[in-house]
Amino acid sequence: MVDSSELLQRASKALFEHTKQPNVDDYPAAGLQVVGLDCEWLPYNSKEPETPVAVLQVVTRTEAYLIDMLYWARPWGGEMVDGETSDASPSSSGTSFERFTELTEKEREINAFLTELFTSDSIIRVGFMFGFDVFRLQRSYPHLPAFKPVGAGPGQNSLFVVEILAVARFVLPQVPKYAISLAKLVNLVIDVSLDKTQQLSNWAQRPLTSDQIRYAADDGHTVVAMLDMLAAKKPDALARLPAFAMQEHRPAPPAGSKAWLWPAAPTTGDIALDLEGVVRAHLGALVVANGQPTRKVVAELIGHGGVKLQVDQEGLLVWKNTGMMFVTLGARKAKLARSGQQLHTMVQKQQQQRTRGSDEDMSQERLLFCRANGKPYQFCGRCLEATSQPDDSVIAWELKDYDDLRSLEGFQQLVPAMA
C-alpha cells in the first residue's frame, strides 16, 4: 500500500525511470513498461451518497502499487463551511460546501506522481472500461490538477489508456461483441479464473485485508498479462493501440465557473468518437441487451459505459461528432435499396426538417444499428445521407462500410428483411 513519501518515490523510480520509448518492434521486451490501471471504492447504491475512490491500482508485470488515495488527498475537493471535512459527497452538502483553493504538501506530491503516470510517453497504460474510473477520480478529487478535464491545465492532454476489451476483440474472434465482465474476458483471453469476491468489500477500511490486496493486484496484473498475450498472438495489434485507446474529451469549464469543483456527469454529447476506430473494432457486432437499455449496452460496447446518454427526440443517440441510428428493418418505414448499399427511411413531411437538420448535420456520418424479426441490433458501420433522394417522403442513407459488411453472415441475414 503506497501511503508514504518513501513508498511513492520507490513506485516512481520503478515506473518512470525507463529511457526506452515504446517500440512495437521489440514488444513485449522487458524494457518496455506496461502498466495496468484500476480503481476501487466503498460500494454504494443509488439511494446513498457517492463514496470517493479509495485505491488506485498501478500494476506492472512484476509489481503492484496500490495508491491509497484517502491518505494522499482530501475527497471531494472541498469542505463544509463550518470547517468539518465532509465524508459524504457534495451532493449531500448543499450550498454549505466550499472548494479548496490550495493543495496540501501531500496533495502536491501525489499530483506530481499522477501527472507523470497519465502523461508519460515511456509507458503504455492499459485498463478495462477505465473511462468510468477516470470519471470517478475526477468527481472524487476535482481539485487535483492531474484529474482536471482536458484543456483545463498545463500539460493536461487526452488520457491515453488502452482499452483491453477493444484489443481482445480485434485479435480474438471468440470475444463477444456485447458487453462482458472482466472476469469473463480474462477467462477467454488467458484462461484464468478471476476471483471477484472482494469487489464489493469495504475499500475505505484501513488496513486493507490480505485478500483485498491480492484482489487489487490481480485485477491490474491481468490486463497487463492479456495485452502481452494478445500482442504476442497478433503483433500488428500494437501498431493500432491509438485506435484502442480510451480518450477523455471533457471540455474545460467556462471562465469563472465553479463547475470544476463538482464536475457535471459527462454525457455522450460531450465525447467525440474515433469513428474509424469504432468501425474497425466493432463492425458486425451484435448488441445483446439482456434486458438492459440497448443504447446503454452500445455505450459499454465501445468503452464508454457509465456515461450519461444524450438522446434526441427522434431516438438518435447523440455524440459530439456523430449520432447513432437504431432502425428496425422490414417495417414499412425502413427498407433496403440497391442490394444493401442504401437504407431508405420513410418520414412524414413535418418530420423532414427535424430529422435532417442543418446542412452540416446532413453531411455528418452516423453510426447505424439495424435489426429484423425481433433479433438483436447489429452494428452496420457508418452511413451518410445520400446526395440524391428518391422523393420527399424518403431519406436515403449510403452505407459507407458496405464492402466489408456484405461478407458478414449477420448482415446477409438482414438483407432479406430489408429488401
The 10s digit of each residue's pLDDT in 83-98 is 444 555 665 544 455 6
In this prediction, residue 153 carries a pLDDT of 34
Tell me, rounded to whole angstroms, the distance of Cα 344 from its chain centroid.
32
C-alpha–C-alpha distance, residues 50 and 47, integer Å: 9
Global pTM reads 0.59
CA 26-39-79 angle, 5° bins:
135
Three-state DSSP class for 134? helix
In this prediction, residue 236 carries a pLDDT of 76
Right CATH number for 5-264 from 3.40.50.150, 3.30.70.100, 3.30.420.10, 3.40.140.10? 3.30.420.10
Where residue 330 falls (left for φ over 0; alpha for ψ -120 to 50; beta otherwise) is left
Report the DSSP beta bridge partners of residue 397.
Answer: 343, 385
In this prediction, residue 129 carries a pLDDT of 84
Report the DSSP beta bridge partners of residue 6.
Answer: none
Nearest Cα to Cα of residue 24 among 279, 187, 238: 238
In this prediction, residue 276 carries a pLDDT of 87
In this prediction, residue 331 carries a pLDDT of 61
Q: Cis omega (within 30 of 0) on the bond before 207?
A: yes
CA 28-31-37 angle, 5° bins:
70
Residue limits of CATH 3.30.420.10 in the chain: 5-264
Cα separation values, 115 from 12, 159, 206, 262, 271, Å: 11, 10, 26, 20, 22
Specify burial of residue 47 (Cβ count, 10 A radius: 0-12, 13-18, 19+). exposed
> How many Cβ atoms sit within 10 Å of the Cβ of residue 51?
18
Residues with Cβ within 8 Å of residue 338, at least 6 apart in sequence? none
Contacts 24+ apart (CB under 8 A), 105-111: 106/71, 106/72, 106/73, 107/72, 107/73, 107/74, 107/143, 107/144, 109/5, 109/8, 109/72, 110/8, 110/67, 110/69, 110/72, 110/73, 110/144, 111/144, 111/145, 111/146
In this prediction, residue 157 carries a pLDDT of 40
C-alpha–C-alpha distance, residues 69 and 139, integer Å: 13
Ranges of the chain whose pLDDT falls below 70: 18-32, 46, 78-98, 149-159, 178-179, 239, 242-243, 245-266, 305-306, 331-332, 336-337, 339, 347-363, 388-390, 392, 415-419
Quote the percentage of the chain above a pLDDT of 90: 35
Please list, residue by residue across 223-260, b when 16 or more beta carbons sit within 10 angstroms of its beta carbon and e when fewer do: bbbbbbbbbeeeeebbebbebbbbbbbbeebeeeeeeb
C-alpha–C-alpha distance, residues 127 and 118, integer Å: 12
Cα separation values, 121 from 109, 159, 203, Å: 20, 11, 31
CB 325 within 8 A of CB 154: no
Phi, psi for residue 345 in degrees, rounded to 5 = -115, 135
In this prediction, residue 202 carries a pLDDT of 95
Three-state DSSP class for 22? coil
In this prediction, residue 194 carries a pLDDT of 87
C-alpha–C-alpha distance, residues 151 and 188, integer Å: 38
C-alpha–C-alpha distance, residues 215 and 221, integer Å: 10
Nearest Cα to Cα of residue 182 among 232, 128, 122: 128
DSSP output for 254-304: PTT--GGGSPPPPBGGG----HHHHHHHHTT-EE--TTS-HHHHHHHHTT-
C-alpha–C-alpha distance, residues 228 and 173, integer Å: 17
Torsion of the alpha carbons at 326, 409, 384 and 336, rounded to the nearest 10: -80
CB 396 within 8 A of CB 344: yes
In this prediction, residue 259 carries a pLDDT of 35
CA 376-380-383 angle, 5° bins:
135
